[in-house]
Structure 1
Amino acid sequence: MAGKVFTVAQQKGGAGKTTLVAHLAIAWMQLGRSVATVDIDPQGSLTRWQAVRAEATGGQPGFTHVQITGWRTQTEVEKLARDHDIVLIDSPPHAQTEARIAVRAASLVLAPVQPSPMDLWAVQPTLDLAAQEKRRLLLVLNRVPPRARIADELIGRVRELVNPPAVDIAESQIGNRTAYAGTLLSGLSVTEAARKTQAAAEMQALAEEILRRAG
Structure 2
Amino acid sequence: TGNTKHVIVSVKLANGILSGTILDITERKQLEERNKKYELELIEAMEKAMESEKLKTAFLANMSNEILTPMNTIMGFSDLLNNPDLPDDKLLHFSEQINTSSNTLVNLIDNIIDIAKVESGEVRIKLSECKINHLLLDLYACFDNEIKEKGKDKVYLRLKRASKDKDFAILSEPYRLKRIMSNILKNAVNYTDSGKIEFGYSILDGESDGKATSQGQMLQFFVMDKGKGIPKE
TM-score (norm 1): 0.25
Structure with bigger helix share is: 2
